[in-house]
Amino acid sequence: MTSPIRVAVTGAAGNIGYAILFRIANGDLFGPDQPVILQMLEIPPAMKALEGVAMELEDCAFPLLQDMVLTDDANVAFKDVNWALLIGARPRSKGMERKDLLGANGAIFKPQGEALNRHAASDVRVLVVGNPANTNCLIAMRNAPDIPPERFTAMTRLDHNRAISQLARKAGVPVTAVKKVTIWGNHSSTQYPDAYHAEINGRPAPEVINDDAWIRETFIPTVQKRGAAVIEARGQSSAASAANAAINHVQSWYHGTPPGDWVSMAIPSTGAYDTPEGVIFSYPVTIQNGQYQVVEGLSLSDFDRAMLAATGQELLEERAAIEEMLG
């Protein structure tokens, strides 16, 4: 029998946790022949709820779910894990400044990075979902010096999927007709959803859309602010779509990207396209054999460059606010 893949999920009793665990146990990440072990981390007040989630997982009798670990200790949760999905984070409470939010999350992601460094399997790969995702990822990465930095990524796949849907809807085509969409930079409202390098049915998206005002005044802000719009409508932040995007992120990293397309992933900055070094920046990437590569050679307009500079600047400011946590 194939040996199981160990997947850690933090914030496992939260909203995204509830939407993602059942899909992982169902085999959505690695396929129908690959058993998994779920190693779920929560904080003490949520352990009882986590037990309830584990009861439900058990009640599904998933053939691929070989074992479960429930814990409030990161050292236990990350023991021998091959994949770590860091979803649990401290939400912004009333009156909290951005710097306080960054600091409160640093207090979570620094020890989690250290625990990954001590206990994870040598092939561990990390996806940070909990916000502010890029900077949380940077903190975890910098506190895990023995893990190659390129194994740390943050999620912009939800923004990427949102962008695909908006373009498909505008063009009146199925989502599968839209390729080469990019989310650049930070998973925040400064992100740059790039339609200019995208293709629709193999043609340049701007040519098919033929409405530049729509791209700048509707498409970009809609994708940037979609998270807030979902909260406004649902009273809670995106959970099922975020879980789905996290599944897609891991699927792409594990199985690779198809020819003629790419995905968006926030990764340790390579400096490509004049992006700032030393931050976690989202780029267009292709993936083969578990290795991602930034798409090279895209020609950027002045508008593209200004958008990249703005989101890069925000990431530098976030880094400056938590500099002392960078190990």
Residues placed in the known binding site for NAD(+)? 11-17, 105, 112, 129-131
Strand partners, 184: 192
Chain residues binding ligand NAI by CB under 6 A are: 10-11, 13-17, 41-43, 46, 87-91, 108, 129-131, 133, 155, 158, 187, 237-239, 242
What are the CB-based long-range contacts (under 8 Å, 24+) for 88-97?
A: 88/10, 88/11, 88/12, 88/14, 88/17, 88/41, 88/42, 88/43, 88/130, 89/11, 89/129, 89/130, 89/131, 89/136, 91/131
Q: Distance between CA 310 and CA 74 in Å, rounded?
A: 35
Among residues 35 and 264, whose Cβ is nearest to ligand NAI? 264
Among residues 19 and 178, whose Cβ is nearest to ligand NAI? 19
> 249 catalytic, yes or no?
no
Residues 51, 57, 58, 60, CA torsion sign: positive
Q: What is the 8-class DSSP label of residue 94?
A: T
Shortest spacing between CB 129 and ligand NAI, in angstroms: 5
Q: Which of 119, 160, 187, 197 is catalytic?
A: 187
Residue type, position 156, single letter: T
Among residues 68 and 200, whose Cβ is nearest to ligand NAI? 68
Cβ distance 126 to 265 under 8 Å?
no
Q: What is the 8-class DSSP label of residue 194?
A: E
Shortest spacing between CB 114 and ligand NAI, in angstroms: 13
Residues 243, 159, 121, 324, CA torsion sign: negative
Q: Distance between CA 23 and CA 136 in Å, rounded?
A: 25
Q: Tokens representing 9?
A: 């999920």
Among residues 15 and 313, whose Cβ is nearest to ligand NAI? 15
Residue type, position 93, single letter: S
Cβ distance 125 to 83 under 8 Å?
yes
Shortest spacing between CB 301 and ligand NAI, in angstroms: 26
Which positions make up the binding site? 11-17, 92, 98, 105, 112, 129-131, 162
Q: What is the 8-class DSSP label of residue 72?
A: S
Q: Which CA distances in Å does 10 have to 16, 53, 307? A: 10, 13, 32
Among residues 133 and 198, whose Cβ is nearest to ligand NAI? 133
Residue of this chain nearest to ligand NAI (CB atom): 14
Among residues 92 and 173, whose Cβ is nearest to ligand NAI? 92
Active-site residue numbers? 187
